Amino acid sequence: MQLYQQIKSKNEKIAVIGLGYVGMPLAVAFAKKVDVIGFDLSDKKIGFYKSGIDPTNEVGNDAIRSTTVDFTSDETKLREAKFHIIAVPTPINTDKTPDLSPVVGASTTVGRNLCKGSIVVYESTVYPGVTEDICIPILEQESGLKCGVDFKIGYSPERINPGDKVHTLQKITKIVSGIDNESLEEISKVYELVIEAGVHKATSIKVAEAAKVVENSQRDINIAFMNELAMVFDRMEINTKDVIEAMNTKWNALGFTPGLVGGHCIGVDPYYFVYEAERLGYHSQIILSGRKINDGMGEFVGDAIIKKLILANKIVRQAKVVILGVAFKENCPDIRNSKVVDIITRLNEYDITPIVVDPQADPSEAKYEYNLDLAELESIKNADCLVFAVGHDEFIKLDKNQIDNMFGDFENNEKVIIDVKNILNKKEIETVGYSYWSL
């Protein structure tokens, strides 16, 4: 426990590499106990943090202003630390194969600044084998050191749920693994400094890597099942929410609901698992089928919008459609891999350019990522159709008058509401006479 004791006594430091939705809360949490260096390539992001601004909304501006994290984009500062946590994103390429370039880049950077006696822990989601087969050789090549002799390595998958203020970092059991028993014990003790829920010691690095991609693949498959049911119930003219409420009265119901599956975890991780399985000669059937269903939900919702516009006697190409929300989930500014964009793409095929509103998303990021100009909620007038795509609190709190004021001056049965997240009261909406559809 030599390194752990040195970190605890503040004779050695922890470095967190990658300060996004995962790395930043982790760095802030550790800084309450020990000395922490927070490194990120983005000077803009570092500038926000140094100014006391939390662009992720994960810990809030007050926590950023009061933290002792040494925020930097200078990689040579990493030489001051001996416990490195790599928490960079792992996206997918356009062909759905893993894009490991952020992990490779981070490994290269850490390797250049690695010293003897260090431990490197990866939190980025990867398929089993990446840490040992890809990352270790990079660290060794860049540092000139030997893994297992001069430095140790481990893997501890991130499990943070962005926007969730209940299941926070400290309250989620941390899976930890190490290249040997000594590193496993050191890594466990370090994480136990901040993880109140405790740690689960995986039997190997590959087991820990697999646990991460499998837990998200499991959720993806269950949501895909509910999405398939929703598409069938739509043809049967049965309300999916009503069915789910009835089903959930049984004690062993799982409680999943249909929806758009985007973001940087559930919509991505299954492809990492499938990629490695296929490399080993196994073609996934269930996982890929679930992904196909979930990847098609944006198009399905887009078609539902067109159908409701036609039934409301609207000229489709002239319809003013307003989409409320572009983040990948409620009460979160993260727009990475947002499937709301698939709805927009489908509407574009009908020559509809919808107005998009998201009070939590960064307008500059929306413009850069998707070429979207976000509108203010208060500016919405004369709409033909409102699409509640994300369950932000700002949208849930809208009352009937506020909703009505966003529509044009025409009969209520010509006012279309698409409730993707089932956040509205169906009976109240239909009592008013709106044309209503929910997933």
Catalytic residue numbers read: 265
Q: What single-letter amino acid sits at 250?
A: K
Neighbours of 43 (CB within 10 A): 10
| 374-375 and 13-17 strand pairing | unpaired
Q: Let me know: does 53 contact 87? Beta carbons within 8 Å.
A: no
Give every strand in the sheet of 374-375, ordered side by side: 374-375, 355-357, 321-324, 385-388, 416-419, 435-438
Q: What is the DSSP string of 306-362?
A: HHHHHHTT--GGG--EEEE--SSSTT----TT-THHHHHHHHHTTT---EEE-TTS-
Q: What single-letter amino acid sits at 177?
A: S
From the list 173, 168, 161, 159, the residue with the least C-alpha distance to 201 is 173
Q: How far is CA 152 from CA 79, 126, 140, in A?
A: 16, 19, 11
Q: Let me know: does 439 contact 301? Beta carbons within 8 Å.
A: yes
Cα separation of 245 and 162, whole Å? 26
Cα separation of 220 and 139, whole Å? 33
User: CA 46, 50, 51: angle at the middle one, nearest 5?
Assistant: 115
For residue 437, how many C-alpha atoms fall within 13 Å in the half-sphere facing its CB? 26
